[in-house]
Structure 1
Amino acid sequence: MKARHKRLALILGGMGLLTAAILLVLSAFQENLVFFHSPSDILQGQATPERMLRIGGIVEEGSVQRQADGLTVQFAVTDTASSIPVVYQGSLPDLFREGKGVVAQGRLDEAGLFHASQVLAKHDENYMPPEAADALQQAQKSMLTVVQP
């Protein structure tokens, strides 16, 4: 084999390894990518069931139900226009309350029930994740345009 052919084989082999490494990194990135959706977005079909996502909004008043096992909690997250039922197994943050902001990460099942693997509560009166604040504002605007003739 000539030196020229060896060099070409080495270059092609290196490019193949580089391509494989890039594909592995992109695949891992795609699997760990989590999108934020409001309850209205989910009900409009913008979220894919069984895909990891985050929902945010307000914990609906009167919706929190604790199961007998003490760890399973069901509640609804609303953006004032729509609400999504959420089930979570684990201990909730201390700041978790009805009528307060929350972001939940998990998966939506085919029946429309959101199975949360993580629940984050708003940490003070002035803060809300920008995505949740935008979703609430959009939902309120859409309700105003529907109500006004």
Structure 2
Amino acid sequence: MAKEILGEDNIELNVELNTKEEAIRFTGEILVENGYVESSYIDKMLEREKVTSTYMGNYVAIPHGTEDAKSSVMETGISVVTVPHGVDFDGNVVKILVGIAGKGDDHLEVLSKIAIVLSEEENIDKIVNAGSKEEIIRIFDEVN
């Protein structure tokens, strides 16, 4: 049976992160710990960030691996980390980190769902201020 893409184990609320690198590592580590990716994927997430920023606007960054990181992905999954005090991404404040690992072309479907959720400013506030992991899962489950 395939793992669920976003479960409670993939979410961390109210985290304090000091740097962009720390934020990306933390987001990737969740994917590693829960069996979605091999640890080498985190280096590819950092490599991707050097090529092009994963900051998307609206207090959101979506760290993910480079194209050649696909072999490190075991299952499709996402991690969600809220950083209410924000972390600096090259002059931009990020309060929500969504780490993505997509097996095959799964990442395209996952990305579009995430984009729909995070395009609503109201959802950004709800996610940053979420009191529970269940709340975040509900917000993402509302989009189908």
Q: Could you say which TM-score interval applies, normalised by the shorter chain?
A: under 0.3
**Structure ID, larger Rg:** 1
State the TM-score, normalized to the length of structure 1.
0.26
Structure with greater proportional strand content:
1
More helix by share: 2
Q: TM-score, normalised by structure 2?
A: 0.26
Per chain length, whose mean CA-contact separation is higher, i.e. which structure has more relative contact order (CA < 8 Å, sep 6+)?
2
